[in-house]
Amino acid sequence: MPVVAAAVCPHPPLLVPEVASGAAPDLDDLRAACLAAIDQLSTASSVLVVGAAAARATYSATAGGSFGPYGAPGVRIGTGDPVLPLSLAVGGWLLEQTKAAQLPRAYLAVPMDATPAECRQLGQEIADGNDRIGLLVMGDGSARRSEHSPVHLHPRAEIFDTTVATALQYRDLDVLNALDPDLAAELQAAGRAPWQVLAGALTATTLTGDLTYHAAPYGVGYFVASFT
C-alpha cells in the first residue's frame, strides 16, 4: 500500500515551548503550521517519522527522546532510554500534540551523508510495504540564511531554500532528487536526505503538495508542507 499522507516539518528544539522559554511565542506560527500538517496523517494506519542522523537506525514507538541537552530536562517522549536523535525527538514531540498521536508509530534515522540514490531507494521500500503509512519527514533548510545564522551567511543559502520550497509546493520530485549532497552539507541543510526519502516514497502516489510555511526566523530555513 503506498504512502497515503505525508507532512514535512523542521526540527529546531525551540519548537518545544519549555526549551524556547520566553521566546516561545516567536515560533507560534511555525508550531501551529506543523501541528496542522501532522493532523492530516490521522487518515493513515501508522506513522513513520523520518529524520537525519549520523547513522542509519530504526526505533520503536517506545524509544525515548530527551530535551535535557537543550535546557528542558523535564520534557521527554517515549518510555525507553533517550536514544532518539534531535530530528526524531522533535518529530515525536510534535506528533504527540496532534490527532495522529494514537496511531502506531516507528522512527527511521537516515544518514546525513546518504546518497540521493540510497535515499530514493529507501523511500521506495517504505512505499512498497503493506501498511497505510503516514510519513512525518523532519528536516531544516540551510542554517546559513543570515548574518545571525548559526553559521555565517552563505550567498547560495536563500536560493537553495527557495528551490526546496518550490519543489515541496509543486511536488517536484525530480528537483528534490537532484539536490546536491555536497552543497547541502556546505549550507548545513539538515533536511536534504529526509526530503529525498520523501521523494522516493511519493513516486508511486498521486498525492499533491501544499506548502504552508517557509521562513528563516533565526537564520535557518524552515518549511512545513502537507501531501494529501
Domains located in the chain, CATH noted: 5-227 (3.40.830.10)
Phi-psi sector, 21: left (phi>0), alpha (psi -120 to 50), beta: left
**Is 116:178 a contact under the CB 8 Å cutoff?**
yes
pLDDT at 6: 98
pLDDT tens column, 70-113:
999 999 999 999 999 999 999 999 999 999 999 999 999 999 99
Instruction: Tell me the mean pLDDT in the region 185-194.
Output: 97
Averaged confidence pLDDT in the chain: 95
Per-residue pLDDT band for 25 (boundaries 50, 70, 90) equals confident
pLDDT tens column, 31-40:
999 999 999 9
pLDDT at 150: 81
The number of beta carbons lying within 10 Å of the beta carbon of residue 2 is: 16
* Entry field: residues in the chain: 228
- Residue 9's DSSP bridge partners are 138
Is the model more confident about 12 or about 22? Answer: 12
pLDDT at 82: 95
Instruction: Tell me the mean pLDDT in the region 213-223.
Output: 95
The number of beta carbons lying within 10 Å of the beta carbon of residue 136 is: 29
pLDDT at 21: 85
The number of beta carbons lying within 10 Å of the beta carbon of residue 44 is: 22
The torsion defined by the Cα of 107, 108, 109 and 111, in degrees rounded to 10, comes to 180
- Residue 76's DSSP bridge partners are 66
Nearest CA-CA partner of 200 in 178, 169, 183, 225: 178
Per-residue pLDDT band for 130 (boundaries 50, 70, 90) equals confident
pLDDT at 147: 85
| CA angle in degrees (0–180, nearest 5) for 143-73-7 | 45
**Is 11:85 a contact under the CB 8 Å cutoff?**
no
pTM for this entry: 0.96
**64 exposure class (CB count in 10 Å sphere: 0-12, 13-18, 19+):** middle
pLDDT tens column, 145-182:
998 878 889 999 999 999 999 999 999 999 999 999 99
pLDDT at 1: 54
